[in-house]
Amino acid sequence: MVDEVVSEAAGFLFRQVGGLAVELTVNHVFSRHTARFFHGIGRRLIAVATFGTKRIPSSLRVVPKGSRPKPRRSDWLALWVGILSWVALFLAIGFGVSHFL
Protein backbone atom coordinates (compact mmCIF):
# COMPACT_ATOMS: atom_id res chain seq x y z
CA MET A 1 0.00 0.00 0.00
CA VAL A 2 2.68 2.50 1.01
CA ASP A 3 4.91 1.32 -1.86
CA GLU A 4 2.15 2.03 -4.36
CA VAL A 5 1.58 5.54 -3.00
CA VAL A 6 5.30 6.31 -3.07
CA SER A 7 5.69 4.94 -6.60
CA GLU A 8 2.65 6.92 -7.81
CA ALA A 9 3.99 10.11 -6.20
CA ALA A 10 7.45 9.54 -7.70
CA GLY A 11 5.93 8.87 -11.12
CA PHE A 12 3.82 12.02 -10.92
CA LEU A 13 6.81 14.11 -9.85
CA PHE A 14 8.96 12.63 -12.62
CA ARG A 15 6.31 13.41 -15.25
CA GLN A 16 5.93 16.99 -14.01
CA VAL A 17 9.67 17.67 -13.93
CA GLY A 18 10.18 15.99 -17.32
CA GLY A 19 7.33 17.98 -18.83
CA LEU A 20 8.75 21.21 -17.44
CA ALA A 21 12.19 20.43 -18.87
CA VAL A 22 10.71 19.70 -22.30
CA GLU A 23 8.56 22.83 -22.19
CA LEU A 24 11.48 25.06 -21.21
CA THR A 25 13.66 23.52 -23.92
CA VAL A 26 11.01 24.03 -26.60
CA ASN A 27 10.39 27.61 -25.43
CA HIS A 28 14.12 28.32 -25.53
CA VAL A 29 14.68 26.76 -28.95
CA PHE A 30 11.76 28.62 -30.49
CA SER A 31 12.42 31.93 -28.75
CA ARG A 32 13.19 34.85 -30.98
CA HIS A 33 16.98 35.05 -30.64
CA THR A 34 17.68 31.33 -30.43
CA ALA A 35 15.52 30.67 -33.48
CA ARG A 36 17.49 33.29 -35.41
CA PHE A 37 20.73 31.62 -34.34
CA PHE A 38 19.63 28.18 -35.55
CA HIS A 39 18.07 29.67 -38.70
CA GLY A 40 21.40 31.34 -39.51
CA ILE A 41 23.29 28.09 -39.02
CA GLY A 42 20.79 26.22 -41.18
CA ARG A 43 20.88 28.72 -44.03
CA ARG A 44 24.68 28.68 -44.10
CA LEU A 45 24.80 24.87 -44.03
CA ILE A 46 22.27 24.67 -46.87
CA ALA A 47 24.30 27.18 -48.90
CA VAL A 48 27.52 25.21 -48.32
CA ALA A 49 25.90 21.83 -49.00
CA THR A 50 24.44 23.04 -52.31
CA PHE A 51 27.64 24.92 -53.27
CA GLY A 52 25.74 28.20 -53.14
CA THR A 53 23.04 27.27 -55.64
CA LYS A 54 20.27 27.40 -52.99
CA ARG A 55 20.21 30.50 -50.83
CA ILE A 56 17.67 31.14 -48.11
CA PRO A 57 17.05 34.81 -47.23
CA SER A 58 18.15 36.13 -43.86
CA SER A 59 15.81 35.87 -40.90
CA LEU A 60 16.48 39.54 -40.15
CA ARG A 61 13.82 40.71 -42.59
CA VAL A 62 11.72 43.66 -41.49
CA VAL A 63 8.07 42.86 -40.80
CA PRO A 64 5.68 45.81 -41.18
CA LYS A 65 4.34 47.09 -37.86
CA GLY A 66 1.04 45.53 -36.88
CA SER A 67 1.44 42.41 -39.00
CA ARG A 68 2.70 38.98 -38.04
CA PRO A 69 5.70 37.34 -39.69
CA LYS A 70 4.75 34.59 -42.11
CA PRO A 71 7.58 32.06 -42.22
CA ARG A 72 8.02 30.28 -45.51
CA ARG A 73 8.79 26.61 -45.94
CA SER A 74 12.46 27.46 -46.53
CA ASP A 75 12.56 29.27 -43.17
CA TRP A 76 11.32 26.16 -41.37
CA LEU A 77 13.77 24.01 -43.32
CA ALA A 78 16.69 26.25 -42.35
CA LEU A 79 15.57 26.26 -38.71
CA TRP A 80 15.34 22.46 -38.49
CA VAL A 81 18.60 21.94 -40.39
CA GLY A 82 20.27 24.29 -37.91
CA ILE A 83 18.82 22.53 -34.87
CA LEU A 84 19.60 19.02 -36.13
CA SER A 85 23.13 19.94 -37.19
CA TRP A 86 23.81 21.49 -33.78
CA VAL A 87 22.51 18.37 -32.01
CA ALA A 88 24.59 16.16 -34.33
CA LEU A 89 27.69 18.26 -33.65
CA PHE A 90 27.31 17.95 -29.88
CA LEU A 91 26.58 14.22 -30.12
CA ALA A 92 29.70 13.73 -32.23
CA ILE A 93 31.79 15.73 -29.77
CA GLY A 94 30.28 13.80 -26.85
CA PHE A 95 30.94 10.41 -28.39
CA GLY A 96 34.40 11.46 -29.53
CA VAL A 97 35.44 12.79 -26.14
CA SER A 98 33.85 9.93 -24.18
CA HIS A 99 36.33 7.57 -25.83
CA PHE A 100 39.13 9.21 -23.83
CA LEU A 101 37.36 9.10 -20.46
For residue range 8-19, list pLDDT tens digits in order: 777 777 777 777
Q: 3-state SS of 14-58? A: HHHHHHHHHHHHHHHHCCHHHHHHHHHHHHHHHHHHCCCCCCCCC
Residues 6+ apart with CB under 8 A from 35: 29, 59, 79
16/26 same-domain check: yes
pLDDT number for residue 93? 87
Q: What is the pLDDT of residues 55-95, one digit of tens each?
A: 887 766 677 788 877 888 888 899 899 989 988 988 888 88
11/50 same-domain check: no
Calpha distance 97→43 (Å, rounded): 28
pLDDT number for residue 39? 85
- In which band, very low, low, confident or very high, does the pLDDT at 1 lie, cut at 50, 70 and 90? low
pLDDT number for residue 99? 77
pLDDT number for residue 51? 92
Amino acid letter, residue 61: R
Domain presence at residue 99: yes
76/100 same-domain check: yes
Pick 53 or 27 by higher pLDDT. Answer: 53
pLDDT number for residue 42? 92
81/54 same-domain check: yes
Domain range enclosing 50: 32-59+70-101
Q: What is the pLDDT of residues 25-49, one digit of tens each?
A: 677 666 667 778 888 889 999 999 9
